[in-house]
Structure 1
C-alpha cells in the first residue's frame, strides 16, 4: 500500500547555530516543501491557526506563523490568518493580539472566519451521523489553506491535531437559522444533556465563568442551562472540581462526528490545496480553548509537515505516545510510565478511534514514511 510522505524536524538543537535552531530548520523545511504546487499565483491563502484564549499561553508561537506567511508570499500567494470564533469576534481579536498574533507580528491580516458572532457559514453535507454541518464561510470560500495545528491532549478525543482542527476549527458554533447544525452537533452524541447534582455543588461559579456561550447561570440555588445557546463542549464539567456536573458524551461517537466535520470541511477544497503542519511542542494535556494551560506531559518533539491529515496525525500520535512522560505533570499524577502509550493512557478515549474513522471516510492514509531534515 502506498504511504504518505511526511517531513520532520526535531526540536533538538545541539550546534547552537541559527540554521539548526527550530525556527531555522522550520525555514529550511518550508523552503524544501514545494508550496508552489499547492498555491497559484496571487491566490488567497488562509493560514488557519488557533488564537488561544486568555490564560492559555501555549498556542503556536507567532515566529512560526510569520515564517509560514513569508513562505506563502514567496510562493506567490496572498495569505491571511483566520480562525472561527469561540467568543464574540472582537473579543477574540483582542485575545489573539494578547497572545502575540497580529498583522504586525505575523505579516498578514487577521480575518474572522465566520463573522462577529459565528453566524456566517454555509451548510455542507457531512455524513450519516450529522447530515449537514455549518462550515465557516471563509473556510468554505477560500481555495487554499495552510493548517497550523498545535498537537496536544484533549479530554474528549484523546488528542487535538490536524483532523480535530479541520473539524472544530472549520465549522461554526451555530447556523443562523437552523438549530443543531453548528459545532454543537459534534458534541451532541446522546439525547441526554449535562446533569447537575446540587448536593455536590459549591456554587463557585467556575462553570458559569468558563462557558464560551454564556449559556449557564444560577437563579438562587438552581443552575439554569440555556439549551439554545449550549453547544455541549463540556468545559463546565472539566472545571468542576466536585463532580457536580457530568457530561454524558459518548467519546467514540464524538470522534466519529468529529471526523464527519473534517470531511465536510475538506469537501469544500479541491485536492492538493491544503498543507498540514503539526507542532509537537508544549504538549499540554488539554486544548488551547481552556482559560489556562497545565505543564506539558512530554518533552518537545518537533514539527511534521505533509499534505495528508490522517498521516500527519497518525505519525504525531505515534511519536507522542512513544515519548517519556514528564515528571510533575498530569502524566506523573496518573503514574504513567515509559513504554506505554502516553496520550492514549492520559485521557479516557482511545485517540486511534478518530484516526481510524478518518481513514475509513477516505480523508487520507494511516500509512506514512518520514523524511527527516538533518542538521546542517
Structure 2
C-alpha cells in the first residue's frame, strides 16, 4: 500500500492558501530528499492548447519549482510536441503557446524546454520488453534528465476515460512517432452514414482521406470518404470533424488495447529514473476533455484538492476515487452517474473504462492501486 498525501481547497488564512498547501505536500510526501544538488529535473507539464483555460495555473508551478531549487537542483519546465496539428506540433509554436498561457520564466521561475526537439526528432529508444512494445520512443531531454517531477491536471478523456499521471508519462513523454505507435489501435472507421460532405478531407492534416465512388448497397450516398490507412497518423481530427456520426472507432476491442499501449509507454518514461520520479495531481477544473482541445467545457464535479505521491498508480487511483465520491454537476457533459460513488468518467464517456489504465499499470509493476490517503 502506497501513501498518497491530500490537501483540500478549504482555506481561511494566508498560512493555508494553495501555495502553502503545495509546499506542505512537497515536504510531507518526502520529495525534498529526491532532488539533489546540480541535478537536472524535468518538471513534466501540459501547457494547455491555446483557447483552453483549465490547465494548471503556472502560479502554482512556481511553488514546486522553488521547492526543487532549495536543494540546488536545476528544474526546467517541459512537454513534448503533439501528434495532431495544433499550436503545439513543433517546438517554436509550442513554446510561444506555453508563454501565452503564462508559463514564462517570470511567472514559473524555470526555463522552458520542449523535450523532443524542434520537430520531435530528439528521441531515445528505451527497452521495456512488454506485451505490445519491446522498445518505446521517449523524448531525449526527458530521458537525459536526472529526475522528474510529474505535475498532472486530472480530468476526463474521450479515449481513456481520464487523464492523470499515467497519461502524462505515456503520451506526454513520447515523441510524435511514439504517439503514433500508441494511437495505431484507434484507427478511425468510416461507416455507411457517410454523405461525402468532405469535412473530414479538410480536417485531415496528411491528406489521406479522399471522396470516391461508393459501391456499398446500404449507403445513403453515391460517393463516400475513404481513408488511406498507410498514410494515416491516427490524429483523429476526422472523428471530431464529422457532423453525421459516420466516423467511429472500435471501442470494444481496440480502445482497451490503446490504453495498454499507453501504459507501456508510461513505463518506458521511467526506465532510467530509478526512484527519481514523483507526482502531483491537481483535482481542480475537472473538465470532460484533455487540455489538448482549444476550449474548456463545464466542470464535471466541484474542485477537490491536490495530491502528492511517489507512485503513479496510487495517485491516479486516489484521484479517480475522489472524483467519483463527488456529486456530479448537471450543467456539464456528464450524462449519468451524478450520485456520490458513481463513476463520473463512465457517466461522461460511456464507451470507455478508464480503470483499464490502473489495472494494467499495476500488472506490469508500475505501482499499486492500494493506497493510504493521508489528509494534511
TM-score, shorter chain, exceeding 0.5 = yes
Partner SS state of residue 372, structure 2 = strand
Aligned to 1:177: none
Which of 111, 114, 139 is the equivalent residue of 2:113? 111
Backbone CA RMSD of aligned residues: 2.2
Which of 131, 135, 148 is the equivalent residue of 1:132? 135
- Structure 1 runs not aligned, ≥5 long: 175-181
Q: Are 1:372 and 2:375 matched, yes or no?
A: yes
* Most deviating of 160-169 and 126-135: 126-135
Aligned to 1:5: 3
Aligned to 1:259: 263
- Following the alignment from structure 2 to structure 1, what is the Cα–Cα distance between the partners of residues 18 and 280? 14
Cα gap change, 1:367 to 1:224, in 2 (>3 Å): same
- C-alpha offsets along residues 258-281 of structure 1, whole Å, 9 cap, x if unaligned? 11111111112112x011000111
Cα gap change, 1:227 to 1:107, in 2 (>3 Å): farther
- Following the alignment from structure 2 to structure 1, what is the Cα–Cα distance between the partners of residues 229 and 105? 37
- Following the alignment from structure 1 to structure 2, what is the Cα–Cα distance between the partners of residues 4 and 89? 37
Aligned to 1:178: none
- C-alpha offsets along residues 336-355 of structure 1, whole Å, 9 cap, x if unaligned? 32132111332121111110
8 Å CA contact 1:9, 1:304 repeated in 2: yes
Which of 39, 42, 45 is the equivalent residue of 2:41? 45
Q: Are 1:122 and 2:120 matched, yes or no?
A: no
8 Å CA contact 1:85, 1:172 repeated in 2: yes
Cα gap change, 1:124 to 1:184, in 2 (>3 Å): same
Which of 2, 23, 30 is the equivalent residue of 1:27? 23
- Following the alignment from structure 1 to structure 2, what is the Cα–Cα distance between the partners of residues 199 and 243? 8
8 Å CA contact 1:51, 1:99 repeated in 2: yes
Aligned to 2:184: 188
Tell me by how many angstroms 1:239 deviates.
4.4
- Following the alignment from structure 2 to structure 1, what is the Cα–Cα distance between the partners of residues 102 and 227? 34
Tell me by how many angstroms 1:90 deviates.
0.5
Q: Are 1:215 and 2:201 matched, yes or no?
A: no
The normalised TM-score by structure 2 is 0.88
Aligned to 2:307: 304
Cα gap change, 1:208 to 1:291, in 2 (>3 Å): farther
Which of 282, 285, 288 is the equivalent residue of 2:285? 282
Q: Are 1:76 and 2:69 matched, yes or no?
A: no
Q: Are 1:163 and 2:176 matched, yes or no?
A: no
- Following the alignment from structure 1 to structure 2, what is the Cα–Cα distance between the partners of residues 305 and 4? 11
- Following the alignment from structure 2 to structure 1, what is the Cα–Cα distance between the partners of residues 343 and 60? 28
- Following the alignment from structure 1 to structure 2, what is the Cα–Cα distance between the partners of residues 264 and 335? 36
Q: Are 1:146 and 2:149 matched, yes or no?
A: yes
8 Å CA contact 1:215, 1:225 repeated in 2: no
- Structure 2 runs not aligned, ≥5 long: 83-88, 213-223
- Following the alignment from structure 2 to structure 1, what is the Cα–Cα distance between the partners of residues 196 and 19? 47
Aligned to 2:61: 65
- Following the alignment from structure 1 to structure 2, what is the Cα–Cα distance between the partners of residues 224 and 85? 28
8 Å CA contact 2:279, 2:309 repeated in 1: yes
Count residues with an aligned counterpart: 354
- Following the alignment from structure 1 to structure 2, what is the Cα–Cα distance between the partners of residues 229 and 270? 38
- C-alpha offsets along residues 149-189 of structure 1, whole Å, 9 cap, x if unaligned? 01001111110000111000011111xxxxxxx21111112
Cα gap change, 1:323 to 1:95, in 2 (>3 Å): same
- Following the alignment from structure 1 to structure 2, what is the Cα–Cα distance between the partners of residues 130 and 81? 28
- Following the alignment from structure 2 to structure 1, what is the Cα–Cα distance between the partners of residues 261 and 210? 34
The normalised TM-score by structure 1 is 0.88
- C-alpha offsets along residues 311-351 of structure 1, whole Å, 9 cap, x if unaligned? 000000011122111121011xx143213211133212111
Cα gap change, 1:63 to 1:85, in 2 (>3 Å): same
- Following the alignment from structure 1 to structure 2, what is the Cα–Cα distance between the partners of residues 38 and 284? 31
